[in-house]
Amino acid sequence: MAWIYLLIASVFEVVFALATNATHGFTVLGPSLLTAGAAAGGIFFLSLALKTLDVGVGYTVWTGIGSVGTVLLGTLIFDEEMNAGKAVAFVLIIGGVLGLKLADRPGRTATAAGAAGQQAGQAGQQPAAPAPAATVATG
């Protein structure tokens, strides 16, 4: 379900970017309201996706899809230039998004710490404190 939330958030991200262009510096009311609503919707659905996905994966995919969608639709709606350099960049972004999706840990519904805390809470116990981070000596 997290990936569906992330796709919905990405659609809001594209609408946000395109509507921002149409606000003319937030001097046009309709697109300005659409921009604010799309920003709120995108962040809301991103937050739902990040309940399960790693923030690095979720945010990167969200911005990647938003970027590609914005440039593609900007080309169609605002008659912006499309060239070979942009096309190559799109392929790289899409490849990165697919790579992150494939590299995400399958079957994971919550982080290990979150799951441990939930299980402890259900059993009426205090969740265990997270292990201290390892330090690396430099010098």
Burial of 29 from C-beta contacts in 10 A (0-12 / 13-18 / 19+): exposed
List Cα–Cα distances, 136 to 133, 139, in angstroms.
10, 10
- Please give the biggest Cα pair distance in the chain: 60
For 95, other C-beta atoms within 10 Å of its C-beta total: 11
Quick: pLDDT tens for 45-79: 999 999 999 998 899 999 989 988 998 999 999 89
CA distance 95 to 78: 26
Quick one: average pLDDT of 82-86?
90
Q: Give the pLDDT mean for 113-123.
A: 47
The predicted pLDDT at position 139 comes to 45
Q: Which of 19-33, 47-61, 122-136 has the lowest mean pLDDT?
A: 122-136
